[in-house]
Structure 1
Amino acid sequence: MSEIILEARHINKYFHDPVTIKVLSDITFSINKGEFVSVTGKSGCGKSTLLYILSTMDTDYEGELLIDNEIMTNKKEAQLARIRNEKIGFVFQFHYLLKEFTVLKNVMLPALNLNRFSEQQVEEKAMQHLKILGIEHLALKHANKLSGGEKQRVAIARALINDPLIIMGDEPTGNLDKKNGEIVFNIFKQLAEEFNQTLFIVTHDQDFAAHTHRIIEMEDGKIISK
């Protein structure tokens, strides 16, 4: 039986500014371990709003969210922050690397914050991830000296450092040229197929989405195919 990593049950979301508008309507689906899922739809259809709810960063919604079979509703912010750090890896369109730190230090930071392993263990683990992504030679370079494609690979290594149950991406190839976009896609594919990593990626790139295991298509705040 497949192991469900994330489940949304009848999620509704409203914005109240100044009038009330329903922006997500009856969102229900689940994601199994090792699935590489993309979410597509036109701008304004609710993709990013949904991602913020699923990543526990937005708690103002109706319905239920379960991560690792644990219900997220009504948890305190400190609990949600720990769940995010332990169970979710993030890759955004902009890499958000700290330019004053080396690549290695940037990758280590989420694990140092989690404080589950010694600094030496975290450093060894970070180097392993850099090797998997083919960028171990950049370990001691400062983040501001990297190309866009290199920065995004460092961001993926950072997302992996705490062995998350799921990696969530918001347009992770949106800022890259075609070649670097393909490199990032192939890394995600390898993570899913060789390492059984679960991925949930919001993207405008139809070619990217077409090659994932499954597409969730959204329109006007609803899922129209999954």
Structure 2
Amino acid sequence: MDTPVLQAININKYFLDPVRFRVLTDINFSINRGSFVSITGKSGCGKSTLLYVLSTMDTDYEGELLLDNETLGKKNNAELAIVRNQKIGFVFQFHYLIQEFNVLKNVMLPAMKLGKYANEVIEEKAMQHLKTLGIYDQALKNASQLSGGQKQRVAIARALINDPLIIMGDEPTGNLDKKNSDVVFEILKDICLQNKQTILVVTHDPDFAKRADRTIRMEDGKIISEL
């Protein structure tokens, strides 16, 4: 539980629009294995920009980023893609399911891309995740046939399929009503407790944020408090 999974050391980021200005300033923190951490703040405070840096999808930054005690700054795009597929699961506000594929195929895709297991094993794992998330009976439906809450559960199952060290969420309840938001929170909390997987969620929802184990609050590209 005390092992850092993710470390950000003096992270700074700049945009050019049209002049250079800083959007992240001296970001320093670490996240331990098995913890549930939220990053919150008003719209435009830099929290989603920070998440994209932490997830390695944005490599244009200053400072040092370590995942599983491995420095990521010197890796090329192909190497970072492997790191993301093996060690990071993603859940976004917009679920990005492939609408013409069924639920089962959507969940299986990242593992099929990784190529670590045979498709039969991947299918079994995917079905188990769908069962855990309460949507086992939707496995053969096309993603387009599901409700918003169901789609987000499929996205969570997809994020879990490669047994990542950390699951990162960008406003994962942003398009959901309170009932479904609560369901998604409880699912993520259970994943954290039962699987000892680390959860990092960016959210503007103060109720969601305060229920996490730890809340990092941002303002104007800076961390202003941690609770």
- Please classify the TM superposition score into its range, dividing by the shorter chain length: over 0.9
What is the aligned partner in structure 1 of residue 171 from structure 2? 171
Residue matched to 1:11? 11
Give the 5 Å matches for 1:153-168.
153-168=153-168
Matching of residue 89 in structure 1 with residue 89 in structure 2: yes
Matched, 1:72 2:68: no
Distance 2:148 2:35 in 1: 27
Instruction: Measure, in 2, the Cα distance between the counterparts of 1:137 and 1:154.
Output: 12
CA distance in 2, matches of 1:197, 1:71: 20
In structure 2, the residue matched to 1:122 is 122
Secondary structure of 2:162's counterpart equals coil
Distance 2:2 2:58 in 1: 28
Once the two structures are TM-superposed, the CA of residue 18 in structure 1 deviates from its matched residue by 0.9
Quote the Cα distance in structure 2 between the aligned partners of 1:196 and 1:61.
Answer: 30
What RMSD in Å do the two structures reach over aligned CA positions?
0.7
Q: Write out per-residue CA displacement over residues 128-186 of structure 1, whole angstroms, 9 at most, x where no aligned residue.
A: 11111111111111100000000000000000000000000000000001111110000
Code of the residue aligned with 1:101 in structure 2: it is F
1:106 aligns with 2:77: no
Question: How far apart are 1:93 and its partner, in Å?
Answer: 0.3
Q: TM-score if structure 2 supplies the norm length?
A: 0.98
Distance between the aligned counterparts of 1:123 and 1:146, measured in 2?
20
Q: Distance in 2 between matches of 1:138 and 1:3?
A: 37
2:224 match: secondary structure: strand
Q: Percent identity?
A: 68
- Work out the CA distance in 2 between the residues paired with 1:108 and 1:125: 8
Name structure 2 gaps, 5 residues minimum: none
Q: TM-score, normalised by structure 1?
A: 0.99
Number of aligned pairs? 226
Aligned equivalents of 1:156 and 1:171: distance in 2?
A: 13
The structure 1 segments of at least 4 consecutive aligned residues displaced by more than 6 Å after TM superposition are none
Superposed CA offset, 1:12-52 (max 9, x none): 00011211110000000000011000000011110011001
Q: In the alignment, which residue of structure 1 is the partner of 2:136? A: 136
Compare 189-198 and 156-165 and name the one that shifted more: 189-198
Shift of 1:225: 1.1
| 1:58 corresponds to | 58
Deviation at 1:78, TM superposition (A): 0.2
Structure 1 residue 80: Cα displacement: 0.1
1:210 to partner: Cα distance: 1.0
- What is the letter of the counterpart of residue 197 of structure 2? Q
